[in-house]
Amino acid sequence: SQQGEEDPQALSIQEGENATMNCSYKTSINNLQWYRQNSGRGLVHLILIRSNEREKHSGRLRVTLDTSKKSSSLLITASRAADTASYFCATDAWGNKLVFGAGTILRVKS
């Protein structure tokens, strides 16, 4: 079963615009991670935010975590065509595995 649910399912924006994706989850977590997957490829880790953190930055990426609402958001600023991919949140609920959501498909038009 998948714990995380991403919203929206698909997002289409123009190059240079910001892209925001949201993730909701159900149980208490140790950390939450975001991954990117280009079509037909494996997943690539983007960023990890721990349960005691509220915001984290990495380059053009900004992640927030609200444990009271059990939600996270991923913001990609100044998007590029190369950002076109599927984005997944994954939660570590103090167990042995990461549980992934169904993902958001991002298309950046040049």
Partner 1 sequence: GAGVSQTPSNKVTEKGKYVELRCDPISGHTALYWYRQSLGQGPEFLIYFQGTGAADDSGLPNDRFFAVRPEGSVSTLKIQRTERGDSAVYLCASSLTRANTGELFFGEGSRLTVL
What are the residues binding partner 1 (CB under 8 A)? Answer: 2, 4, 30-31, 33, 35, 41-45, 48, 88, 92, 94-103
Of residues 7 and 92, the one with the C-beta less far from partner 1: 92
Of residues 4 and 85, the one with the C-beta less far from partner 1: 4
CB of 86 to partner 1, least distance (A): 9
Of residues 41 and 109, the one with the C-beta less far from partner 1: 41
The contacts of residue 52 (CB under 8 Å, 6+ apart) are none
Q: Record the tokens describing residue 32, joined without a space.
A: 């939450």
CB of 35 to partner 1, least distance (A): 8
- Tallying the residues shown for the chain, one arrives at 110
CA distance 85 to 64: 20
CB of 15 to partner 1, least distance (A): 25
Distance of alpha carbon 32 from its chain centroid, rounded?
Answer: 9
CB of 46 to partner 1, least distance (A): 9
Of residues 49 and 76, the one with the C-beta less far from partner 1: 49
Angle, alpha carbons 85-87-93 (nearest 5°): 160
**Terminal CA-CA length for the chain:** 36
